[in-house]
């Protein structure tokens, strides 16, 4: 899966094993984040995820989440961004100092979509 464009335009992330989760030393950070989310009415809209890489992605690839509510299971796979049936980004990475950081839906935004949900598979929030 590693190609000449792999992670070429995005700063590297640590592996899952190297990534440090939230700990007691992060309490003030989390309190500050809660204040900002409340201020903008987003406390029940956004949360945190541990950013990490399991493998490199080419710049034309995206991670797509699907789920099966019957078996209560999730699956994430790599797809070509131009060929995926995804309809809704669900995780973003902040890139405030990277001028090329763009979400497809907001050109020039200081973030990058890192996971998209395939609504065909009953993405959370979709009417069943």
3-class secondary-structure state, position 81:
coil
Average pLDDT, integer, range 51-78: 87
Q: Average per-residue pLDDT in the chain?
A: 78
pTM for the full model? 0.66
How does residue 10 score in pLDDT terms, banded at 50, 70 and 90?
Answer: low
Q: Looking at the predicted structure, is the pLDDT value of residue 25 above 70? A: yes
Q: For residue range 105-123, what is the model confidence (pLDDT) as tens digits?
A: 445 677 878 888 876 655 5
Half-sphere exposure of 68 (CA within 13 A, CB side): 5
């Amino acid at each position: 899966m590693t190609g000449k464009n792999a992670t070429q335009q995005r700063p590297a992330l640590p592996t899952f094993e190297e990534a440090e989760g939230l700990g007691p030393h992060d309490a003030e950070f989390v309190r500050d984040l809660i204040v900002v989310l409340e201020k903008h009415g987003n406390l029940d809209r956004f949360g945190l995820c541990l950013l990490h890489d399991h493998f490199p992605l080419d710049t034309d690839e995206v991670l797509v989440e699907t789920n099966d509510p019957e078996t209560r299971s999730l699956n994430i796979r790599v797809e070509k961004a131009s060929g995926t049936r995804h309809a809704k980004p669900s995780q973003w990475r902040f890139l405030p100092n990277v001028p090329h950081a763009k979400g497809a839906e907001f050109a020039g935004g200081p973030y990058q979509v890192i996971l998209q949900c395939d609504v065909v598979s009953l993405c959370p929030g979709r009417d069943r």
